[in-house]
Chain A
């Protein structure tokens, strides 16, 4: 007998151990997210996928589906709160879309489009963050890092390398790399590592590939993020 739960009033089947996010994705239902990727261990840090589970809020990516529960996701209130989270991410870093190679293929931007963000709303932090261009093939642009730890997980679990971690704490948390020099060039990162491909923003970029696709033909110019499909949001190179 298939187990189901209710997602926005619709019956969604799930297997034992599946999270709400996984079951929703399998059923073709999009729940906004940034730190989630179906290939990697759920993390639950961006909190964008927060849903209402029988009247209690929780992250869809880390909460297991339970038979019979009523989950609300596409509500005006949840989307308003998700919008606030995205606005927080925008003011926390230095996200200047017109100058970013990732623009049009960026999940932070695409989620913000979907949630209707017209302004970052809060006061900008304008933090001073290091750009690491030392690596021959990969740029690490910390100004655009949202600390989703997808590269941390991908490097550890898919590439078997442990190139990345989050160092520091609180608002000073930052992406650090596995080298005494602190330079990406001194790690064993390779251009075709999954860690580089899964970055949802322009924090990790392959060099010499920027602006290759003209405006109007980029991933999220063609379709909104909820139509792209799970795991495909990081674009063609993924």
Chain B
């Protein structure tokens, strides 16, 4: 009998979905993967909330309140939580805003930006409220494994999930660590 499939959730917080695109770059190996893995919440499934899972892959850093809620939902539901990509691990490109004052950010976006006329700062509760600074996800919840890269290559995703499905501790092969 085949071993039970690994239940997997993925999400992108303050990221560009580039890690997800890279995941898909494993091309025909995806067929091999779906033999071992089934998806819970993920852009691939359009499931909105995460149920109990074996593995959660989180792309992107934490830049606003909603990111925290999603991240905490993942942490509560995923046995193993993996930080995927430069943004989840260091804040990445979104963290470039960390040396800009938040007030200046708002001014630029809603008042003085190119093409903005009579702009005003929205106060709609539907809009996630931004933090003073963008943070990596390991500063908000406990993270079990890290998959660096911008994005991590498809092989790295495949290898990580294969290791986890086989009950092995995932190891990046020597020379496979890249931050860009």
Contact residues in B for A209 (Cβ distance below 8 Å): none
How many angstroms between the C-alpha atoms of A100 and B92 in the bound complex? 11
The reply on B83 being an interface residue by CB < 8 A is: yes
Contact between chains at B146 and A119 (CB < 8 Å)? yes
Judged by DSSP, the binding face of A is loop
The reply on B60 being an interface residue by CB < 8 A is: no
Contact between chains at B139 and A123 (CB < 8 Å)? yes
Known contacts A118-B146, A124-B135; A95/B90 CB under 8 A: yes
Judged by DSSP, the binding face of B is mixed
Contact between chains at A119 and B138 (CB < 8 Å)? yes
The reply on B86 being an interface residue by CB < 8 A is: yes
Known contacts A126-B133, A129-B99, A224-B175; A99/B148 CB under 8 A: no
Q: Mark B119-131, 1 if CB is under 8 A from A, else 0.
A: 0000000000000
Q: Mark B90-107, 1 if CB is under 8 A from A, else 0.
A: 111101101100000000
Could you say which of B98, B143, B175, B179 contacts A109, with CB atoms under 8 Å apart? B179
How many angstroms between the C-alpha atoms of A79 and B28 in the bound complex? 38
Contact residues in A for B148 (Cβ distance below 8 Å): 118-119
Could you say which of B138, B139, B172, B180 contacts A97, with CB atoms under 8 Å apart? B180
Contact between chains at B180 and A104 (CB < 8 Å)? yes
How many angstroms between the C-alpha atoms of A99 and B98 in the bound complex? 14
Known contacts A113-B177, A119-B138, A224-B175; A97/B86 CB under 8 A: yes
What's the minimum C-beta distance from A161 to chain B, rounded to whole angstroms?
29
Which chain A residues (105-123) contact chain B, with CB distance < 8 Å? 109, 112-113, 116-121, 123
The reply on A98 being an interface residue by CB < 8 A is: yes
Contact residues in B for A173 (Cβ distance below 8 Å): none
Contact between chains at B99 and A96 (CB < 8 Å)? no
Contact between chains at B89 and A119 (CB < 8 Å)? yes
Residues of A that sit less than 8 Å from B by CB: 90, 94-100, 103-104, 109, 112-113, 116-121, 123-124, 126, 128-129, 143, 215, 224
